[in-house]
């Protein structure tokens, strides 16, 4: 099933919303592939996309957390470290040909959308806007 961008995901910061749209597209690709039973064909590409997303998006946020002295920087960056660790774990499991990997990845990414993007990321919006990021 395709997962689409909804306005409720928006932080109102164009650059970050565009990055989050990329995440939604990756999540949607995995979800669709699972529903069509072709996840084995794309899992390596999905993992690469998730790694690249981390390097681009998470680093972007972290740069501004430091620059703006964001009060929840350490807590937020801890979540980012967990994301990076989890993606590496998925890569290692893929190499070991773990049969449950795709389903667990989907659950992790859906939780990331719900808990991190929808909750944690919304906490820094005020700080970013106050510092001119729109």
Question: Does 122 reside within a domain?
Answer: yes
CATH of the domain at 113: 1.20.120.50
Task: Find the domain containing 56 and state its range.
Answer: 7-130
pTM: 0.91
Question: Does 63 reside within a domain?
Answer: yes
Question: Does 2 reside within a domain?
Answer: no
Question: Does 1 reside within a domain?
Answer: no
Query: What's the pLDDT tens digit per position in 43-97?
Result: 999 999 999 999 999 999 999 999 999 999 999 999 999 999 999 999 999 999 8
Q: Look at residues 70, 88, 85, 42 and name the one whose alpha carbon lies nearest to residue 128.
A: 70
Please state, in angstroms and rounded to a whole number, the distance separating the CA atoms of residues 42 and 29: 9
Domains: count for the chain:
1
* Residue 4, SS3 per DSSP: coil
Output DSSP code: residue 12.
S
Tokens 């970050």 identify what position? Answer: 16
Q: Look at residues 4, 7, 103 and name the one whose alpha carbon lies nearest to residue 46.
A: 103
Query: What's the pLDDT tens digit per position in 89-131?
Result: 999 999 998 888 999 999 999 999 999 999 999 999 999 999 9
């Amino acid at each position: 099933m395709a997962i689409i961008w909804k306005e409720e995901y928006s932080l109102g910061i164009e650059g970050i919303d565009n990055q989050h749209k990329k995440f939604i597209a990756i999540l949607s690709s995995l979800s669709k592939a699972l529903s069509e039973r072709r996840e084995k064909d794309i899992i390596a590409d999905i993992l690469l996309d998730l790694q690249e997303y981390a390097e681009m998006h998470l680093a972007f946020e972290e740069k501004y957390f430091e620059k703006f002295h964001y009060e929840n920087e350490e807590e937020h960056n801890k979540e980012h470290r967990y994301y990076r660790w989890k993606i590496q774990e998925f890569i290692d499991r893929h190499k070991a040909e773990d049969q449950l990997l795709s389903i667990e990845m989907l659950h992790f990414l859906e939780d990331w959308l719900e808990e991190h993007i929808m909750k944690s990321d919304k906490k820094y919006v005020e700080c970013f806007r106050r510092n001119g990021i729109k």
